Amino acid sequence: MAGAGAIEQFKDAMVFLAVAGIGVPLLQRLKVNPVLGFMLAGMAIGPYGLGLLVGEQPWLSWATINKPADFEGLGEIGVIFLLFTIGLDLSFARLWTLRRLVFGLGSAQVAASALVLGGALTLAGLTFWPAIVAGLGLALSSTAVVMQLLISRHRFATSEGQTTFAVLLMQDLMVVPILFLVGALGAPVGETMTDQIMLTIGYGVAAVVLLLLTGRFVVPWVMRAAAKSESHEIFIAVVLLVALASAALTGAAGLPTSLGAFIAGAMLAESAFKHQVEADIEPFKGLLLGLFFVYVGMSIDLAFVWANIEVVLIGLAALVVLKLIVLLGIGALFRVPFSTSLQVSFLLAHGGEFALILLAAAAESGLLDHTVSQILVAVVVLSMALTTPLDEIGRRLAALSEGRRAERPRLETADKDGPVIVGGYGRVGQMIAQVLDAESVPWLALDADPTIVTAARKAGLPVFFGDSTRKEVLLRAGANRAPAFVVTLSNPQLAERMVRAVRDEWPGPPLFARAKDWKHADHLRRLGVDDVIPEAVEGSLQLAAHVLEGLGFEEEAIEARIEEERERAKTSHD
């Protein structure tokens, strides 16, 4: 029997992996967003999909997951890492750059949308607090879907892209207090709401303070120790431990576990390990998020939705129309150009994954009954499916408002307004950084030695722990906006790997490198380096120049002799 139980557990895991590895990619070929693909797959393999036919066709039990409750733990892990990755994106520098749009336009959108949607739900029959919680959830849009759409269509750097991103940032920030509110309102039987709120605030504050203190004094030490091990696996294990331990801490305090994961991500966003962490969890992020969206899909009772399809469609129309009106009004209030406001409004006029999380939390705490929860979840899922066509409508209307034809999304090169990226912050990298500082040129360095990184960070320098030979790390560091790259890695093999990573992905910006000797310099040039300095040769020539100067030779004679020897060394190598 134990063997049968193990087989059952493996079967569910295999079904999920088949969905992630085969089903979702097939849907992507049909232009279905991965987030929606996971939810559709969850509907198909869940108890309300093919699971209904297991009684007639027992073999279908091997292609379905009939007990979503057994999958709930994995779904919660997906939610934890969704909030963790959102926290990683919320650096204070990014928030400050877009502060007017984030804290002005974004907060106004969330407040106004929640008020209008909550009011509509109250008129539909919900009581005050459930309507407020549901309204807050429905006010949020899908960061995962919208960001993927903007990036894939090369519109992230545009006016509508940056405005949309700012609003989404504020929505992501609002998840924390909304989750806190849901936890506080879910008062157990026998306790008043005021007692529960005060108790939750007390435990919550203690948990958050402990988490922040741990993040300030313990987590950096653990991360440095993991980095010094030079083991990629150990580093990833520590990152996962930080996320899960933080989630467990807030969960133990009676708050949502996802709140702790969010705080952990936000703490690491300000650390020297940010870019390496983002790159390391990238391969797992889609799979972990897929766990949650598959669980959501399995939880949707398709027969119930169909039986209430009129209510669902009315709710869908109300959600889209009300959010459009609010977004257009807020855009006018903040003097956003009308064409930009149109595109942003249609991009965000849907529900999102956080609405699903909040609705699930509200249903679990008893704030929403099953019927209302199922209807609202169906409304959110359908609205997410409309994101792309709504965006197309908004884009065409914006073009008409400007008296031009709607253009196809075009490939735009990102503005090269980012820092120069320096791979390696040893002796040579530090010298280059000093020169760039002297000329007021922004730069960012990546180094795999945590000791060097820690010392530089204490001095307030933009040096981050990371493997600069990996495209994922370079991208997270802003390689798509870098005006130039400098390779100062002393290891020839690592230098070549960084050159290949840069040239494969970003062939445009100039690339400079140090080389061991002329032979290595020639090899780097063949790989695409624009200018190479063979360090050993140049060091010898500079030393020779100082010797001649000490012997009393004239400066012009020294320069002529050094240049002649430089050419001779190069010619003899050729």
Instruction: Evaluate if pTM is beyond 0.85.
Output: no
Asked whether residue 253 is domain-assigned, the answer is: yes
Q: At what angle do helices 159-185 and 257-269 cross, to 10 degrees?
A: 140
Whether residue 107 is found in the same domain as residue 54: no
pLDDT at 113: 93
**More reliable by pLDDT, 236 or 120:** 120
Q: Does residue 492 share a domain with residue 389? A: no
pLDDT band, very low/low/confident/very high, at 412 (cuts 50, 70, 90): very low
- Give the three-class secondary structure for 446: strand
Average pLDDT, the chain: 80
* Residues 201, 183: Cα–Cα separation, whole Å: 10
Instruction: Return the pLDDT at 327.
Output: 93
Give pLDDT tens digits for 282-309.
Answer: 767 777 777 777 877 887 888 888 888 9
Other residues' Cβ atoms within 10 Å of the Cβ of residue 252: 12
The amino acid that residue 49 corresponds to is G
- pLDDT at residue 108, rounded to an integer: 92
Band (94; pLDDT cuts 50, 70, 90): low
- 150 and 190 within one domain: yes
161 and 220 housed in the same domain:
yes
Task: Check which CATH number belongs to the domain holding 558 and give it.
Answer: 3.40.50.720
Question: Encoding tokens for residue 259?
Answer: 């709140």
Domain boundary among 47, 66, 85: 66
Domain boundary among 401, 433, 468: 401
Q: Is residue 414 part of a domain?
A: no
Query: Which parts of 253-365 fold into alpha helices (H)?
Result: 257-269, 274-299, 302-307, 309-333, 338-347, 353-364
Per-residue pLDDT, 416: 58
Residue 47 CA to residue 43 CA, distance in Å, equals 8
Same domain, residue pair 454 and 483: yes
Query: Is residue 410 one of the residues assigned to a domain?
Result: no
Total residues found in the chain within this entry: 574
Pick the range with the lowest mean pLDDT from 8-22, 382-396, 547-561.
8-22
* CA distances, 85 to each of 90, 249, 274 (Å): 9, 18, 11
Examine the pLDDT at 500 and tell me if it is beyond 50.
Answer: yes
| Higher-pLDDT residue of 82, 380 | 380
Phi, psi of 512, deg, nearest 5: -115, 150
Summarize the confidence of residues 16-38 as an average pLDDT.
74
- Could you give the CA distance from residue 74 to residue 461 in angstroms, rounded to a whole number? 40
CA–chain centroid gap for 294, Å, is 19
Asked if 49 and 103 sit in the same domain, the reply is no
Q: Look at residues 335, 368, 307 and name the one whose alpha carbon lies nearest to residue 48.
A: 307
The domain containing residue 279 runs over which residues? 69-401
Mark whether 117 and 231 lie in a shared domain: yes
Do 56 and 127 share a structural domain? no
Rg (CA), the chain: 28
Structural domain includes residue 431: yes
Query: Does residue 440 or residue 314 have the better pLDDT?
Result: 314
412 inside domain: no
> Closest Cα to residue 375, out of 292, 318, 450, 440?
318
388 & 536 share domain = no
Total of domains in the chain: 3
What SS3 class is residue 487? Answer: strand
8 A C-beta contact, residue 221 and residue 211: no
pLDDT higher than 50, residue 411: no
**Rounded CA gap, 509 and 530, in Å?**
9
Which carries the bigger pLDDT value, residue 550 or residue 391?
391
Task: Band the pLDDT of 93: cuts 50, 70, 90.
Answer: low
- Does position 43 have pLDDT exceeding 90, yes or no? no
Q: Are residues 169 and 313 in the same domain?
A: yes
User: The domain that contains 291 carries what CATH number?
Assistant: 1.20.1530.20
- pLDDT given at position 184: 67
Six-digit token string for 471: 């495209």
Q: How far is CA 297 from CA 98, 153, 356, 364, 374, in A?
A: 35, 27, 10, 17, 11
Q: Are residues 356 and 457 in the same domain?
A: no
Per-range mean pLDDT, top range of 155-159, 222-226, 248-252: 222-226
In-domain check, residue 409: no
Q: Is residue 408 part of a domain?
A: no
For residue 407, tell me if it sits in a domain.
Answer: no
355 and 439 housed in the same domain:
no
Across the range 236-259, mean pLDDT stands at 81
CB atoms inside a 10 Å sphere around CB 310: 8
